Amino acid sequence: MKTKNSLSSLRKTFSIPETGFLLMALLFSFGTGIVHGQKLSIGASLSGIVSGSGLGSSVSPQFTLSAKKHTLSAGINIQSRYGNFSGLRGRYAYTFNLYEPAEVFFFYDVAWHNQARLGTYTVKAESALNPESSLYFNYAEIKTLEQHIGFGMNVRVSGSFKIFGAWGAGYYNTLGFKEQSLFQYREKANFSLLLMAGMKVDIVRVKR
């Protein structure tokens, strides 16, 4: 019972919106301290992402700031099915074996979806369970906060250009959603898995 209560408390804390933004702010502050006095690399990345939040796959173009083993990135989130801007996404990554052909890294990823629509599978599942509201599921826009941690691998292609893949586990929470009672398949909040693949490159190196 004690373990169950502790897990419940952890889930509630992890799903509070302010927690995600606070963690990201702390990571950026930590990163600023790390890069002080070190050589910086400014670059760009493009990631394809799918998670268990029920929002389908998305694409996230981001700017990156790297200092040796530490990388901070921030950008927007675009849903693949609709091509719409759904929110913002940020990421911190720590690379264990920098400069090797295959680099293993740890990451923390946070995404804030302000105008996200449901993924194809979620729409089909909800429509099958609640046919009377099928039209609504096709156009519903919801606010969701996602947070995931996990591991991935960079593979160097040429110079600073790399491709990468990663997987993680975390949690999503739907915020301020009055129509949640219509949903029978997608839960308001739950644990989630994440798969990610993409490419990145350093554009400018700044000597300090």
- Residue 63 has a pLDDT of 92
Position 182 scores a pLDDT of 85
DSSP string, 59-70: EEEEEEEEETTE
Q: Closest by alpha carbon to 50, among 151, 146, 152, 180?
A: 146
Quote the pTM value. 0.80
Nearest to 196 by CA among 154, 158, 156, 157: 154
User: What is the per-residue pLDDT for 34?
Assistant: 54
Per-residue pLDDT at 1: 46
3-state helix, strand, coil split of the chain in percent (to 5) is 25, 55, 20
pLDDT tens, position by position, for the chain (208 residues)?
444 444 444 444 444 454 555 555 555 555 555 555 567 889 999 999 999 999 999 999 999 998 888 999 999 999 988 888 988 999 999 999 988 999 999 999 999 998 889 999 999 998 899 888 888 888 888 899 999 999 999 999 998 899 999 999 999 999 877 778 888 888 889 999 999 999 999 988 776 5
**pLDDT for residue 12:** 46
pLDDT at residue 95 in the model: 94
pLDDT in tens, 115-132: 889 999 999 998 899 888
| Residue 107: per-residue pLDDT | 96
**Residue 184 phi, psi (nearest 5):** -120, -15
- Give the pLDDT score at 39: 76
Let me know: does 6 contact 21? Beta carbons within 8 Å: no
pLDDT of residue 177: 73
